[in-house]
Amino acid sequence: MATAAIALGVPAIASYLDARYHISRDLHLVSCITVARIQAAFREKRDRVSAFYVLEENAQKFPERPWLWFQGREWKYGEGFEIVKRYGNWLRDECGVKKGDVVAIDFMNSPQMVFVWMGLWSVGATPAFYNYNLSGDSLVHVVKVSTSKLAIVQSKVEQDIGVKKQINDALPGVEVIIFDEALEEKIMKWRTDRPEDELRSGALQAEMACLIYTSGTTGLPKPAIVSWFKVTLASRFVATWLRMRPGVDRYYTSMPIYHASAGMFNIMTCLQIGATSCIGEKFSTKTFWSDVRESNSTMIQYVGETCRYLLSAPPSPDDKNHKVTTAFGNGLRGDVWKEFRERFGIRTIGEFYGATESVAGTWNLNTGDFGVGSVGIQGSLVKAITRANTAIVDIDYETEEIWRDPVTGFCKKVPTGERGEVIFKLDEKNIGATYKGYYRNEKASNSKLLRDVFKKGDAWFRSGDVLTFTQDGRILFNDRIGDTYRWKSENVSTMEVSNAINSHPNKLVEDSVVFGVPLPNHDGNAGVAAVVLSPNVHEDEATFNDLLKFLQKTLPKYATPMFIRIIAEVERTGNNKIVKGGLRKQGVDPEKTKGTGSVWWLKDGKYQKFTDSDWSGITAGRVKL
């Protein structure tokens, strides 16, 4: 009897320990990273670092397996490899591309973009991906800083923006080739002999594979150097971590391939294991699910506010009419997480935190209630492994710099459960081994480095992000530095406030963006919530005081927004990330907000219309908030 009781109790004890210390999660994470590292090292040893070899191996092993899907058509691995060889030979024969050249690519999502990209790798050149929506100074800037002498521009982009003229007027030394149907037909007749190994030989995992630009939400886009190590390790890791099935899983993305999320974590992830990338030209709530169904996708990718947009579409009987079991991405807010999963019947959410130029990331594979809203889960094993290489440090929110002890000059780690900036350890003797920075921009690269952090001579990567590591192993993303603001001697998370506004049970607000603005004669920054009201919701005192009552129950008093601005829409990047710069510059000054929508403010315990005379009272020091 005793033996039987013990036998029955062992699984329960094991289950308890696993739930408390996340043992199985940690083992899965560590094993996936280990496999990816071994593969990366093996490829370097064989002088097969270029991902061109991965495509070649797939074409040899399973030539009939679908590689790419786009607008109802498929390209198999064998067929795609032949096309990539044609593109590579055209690039060097017709365009004069040589080993080591950087070539700018200006495409919307399409298989042809992938063929140009892989064609460049086949001849040892480096693609520089940039946002096809750019024009004017931003467009000229991204081409110039890449040092490219050749830019290949999709005809659709040229028609929309006039890229060729803008580049040629400012950079006459850059050749601009317009990629249209006639050129594609020409390339498809090019020779298919395999570009020789010498063009790719000698590449090391630590060297540059491509340039991917920052989103440009805080200034002009900067080209981040993406190493072969990231191309190989990160993409393979994601495939293994998500338990993707080669030849079975079909992974849909309509996120822009010019960013790392789709480029590395869809196109390259599928390539690494021989799965199928299903590509949407661009994100649209009208075409997203029809694309997913038509492509028979089993996985989907999201970034930023993608899931909120999908939820904002009217419910449909077809909401669960798909084969998707997993959604993967970053930026899924806690207030939409469960609703998104339940409405569309998606079992698994794979959420991660990281940046193109970062040296590390965090990971959360979520199927239940625990971990909802978290960008990572760490158990005892992963904590032990990463303890020396990851830290959350205190910030001076007034200067937006990491706080340093006035006596020692060193930084201070915050206690578990408190927020701070996450930083990652670098090898001070060989920083370039893991941190690549920005292409030919030493100043920007060095801005991400921290020296003498906990001891003299050490070096760390500064993320610029405010995170919290909780006692139970969750990792919470709070804000970007600059988004968290200080008011009434308290630190306010704009994400926390925005989540609360968007969570009102009556859905008063369709979308919101929160930020802090300085006010004359006041310390700190006052909270502003720029909101898009839901259809059929009236802009009146009743609406805003209904919202106020909810926020007073949900948020600390100091975090309740002092101002509410009515806007028509929230500006976002192509990756559905919020752009706050313009709104923050306007603030609540009536001269700057005139014609953009009304402003309300919290006065005498309720939201009231904010007038010119109210602003005069603040600027004259007659009103204290």
Per residue in 508-553, pLDDT tens?
999 899 998 888 888 778 999 999 999 989 999 999 999 999 998 8
- pLDDT > 70: what percent of the chain? 96
Q: What's the pLDDT at 4?
A: 54
In 293-413, DSSP assigns E strands to 299-303, 326-330, 348-353, 362-366, 376-377, 390-393, 395-396, 401-402
C-alpha distances in Å from residue 443, one per residue of 425, 430, 565? 20, 18, 36
Q: What is the average per-residue pLDDT within 499-508?
A: 89
Q: What's the pLDDT at 580?
A: 82
C-alpha distances in Å from residue 122, one per residue of 56, 63, 209? 10, 18, 12
Closest CA to 581 of 570, 591, 590, 594: 570
**Domain boundaries 483-619, CATH class:** alpha beta
Q: Could you tell me the end-to-end alpha-carbon distance of the chain, in angstroms, rounded to an integer?
A: 71
What is the rounded CA–CA span in Å between residue 434 and residue 49? 16
Q: What is the average per-residue pLDDT within 436-464?
A: 94
Q: Which residue has the higher pLDDT, 216 or 499?
A: 499
Q: What is the dihedral of CA 595, 600, 603, 605, to 10 degrees?
A: 170
Q: What is the average per-residue pLDDT within 434-440?
A: 93
CB 485, CB 492: distance < 8 Å: yes
pTM for this model (two decimals): 0.85
CATH 3.40.50.12780 in the chain: give the residue spans.
Answer: 24-282
Q: What is the dihedral of CA 135, 141, 145, 149, to 10 degrees?
A: 50
Would strands 175-179 and 250-253 be described as parallel, antiparallel, or unpaired?
A: unpaired
Closest CA to 313 of 343, 286, 293, 281: 286
CB 522, CB 560: distance < 8 Å: no
Q: Which residue has the higher pLDDT, 504 or 187?
A: 187
CATH topology for 24-282 is: Rossmann fold (3.40.50)
CATH 3.30.300.30 in the chain: give the residue spans.
Answer: 483-619
CATH topology for 381-478 is: Luciferase; domain 3 (2.30.38)
Q: How confident is the prediction for the chain on average, in pLDDT?
A: 91
Closest CA to 464 of 450, 475, 448: 448
Specify the residue for token string 């970007």: 480
CB 213, CB 223: distance < 8 Å: yes
In 470-618, DSSP assigns E strands to 474-480, 485-487, 490-492, 509-517, 526-533, 563-566, 599-603, 606-609
Residue ranges of the alpha helices (H) in 416-560? 442-446, 494-502, 541-554
CB 423, CB 450: distance < 8 Å: yes
What is the rounded CA–CA span in Å between residue 618 and residue 528? 15
